[in-house]
Amino acid sequence: MKRAALYLRVSSLDQHPETQLLDLRQIAAQRGYEIVSQYTDRVSGAKARRPGLDELIRDARRGRFDVVLVWASDRIARYVKHFLEVLDELNRLNIEFVSFREQIDTGGPLGRAIVVIIGAIAELERSLIVERVRAGMWRAKLEGRHIGRRPLELNREAILRDHQRGQSLGQIARLHRISRTTVQRVLKQTTSNNQEPAA
């Protein structure tokens, strides 16, 4: 009999995992799994770090179960990259993954093929995003548009003058709408530039 771990996630405190739990217990009974662990998170699926999921992965590494049951793939992760990372970890540990809603079962050849296809699509999407960004940057360059953060325009003489008048770093920073670190850098550069070279 395979030992099963149930993973439940709801995205807000007013949602209840009971619906997910009922379906997962039913599928475990149909397949003859023994439920040995249950993990629950009440956070957004966009967060990679979650107490319940982290504990599930730790127990998976300790060999405490043979299969993970979830109600839907998006309960594990909202983003394909994170979803595949979790699946890769489970696969490496020889732990099967079963999703009730999508009928994904990595214990069978079809389920494994689906995971490979999802991974290929995610890789393709990453490549397309990189190509779109490169094309956009090239087009902007051809049109003479500046890419990235514009260089900070500083009135070094005014900063130095305000400092010589006895204003504090904080006052100068607020007056020129820059950080205290930038003020310190300007003063340091000005001081080093005005120093006489050693004989």
Contacts of 9 (CB under 8 A, 6+ apart): 17, 40, 41, 42, 43, 45, 50, 52, 53, 75, 76
Asked if residues 160 and 187 have their Cβ atoms less than 8 Å apart, the reply is: yes
Measured distance CA(144)–CA(111) in Å, rounded:
50
Measured distance CA(195)–CA(182) in Å, rounded:
20
127 is catalytic: no
Measured distance CA(193)–CA(188) in Å, rounded:
9
Which entry of 11, 37, 73, 168 is annotated as an active-site residue?
11
Q: Which residues are identified as catalytic?
A: 11
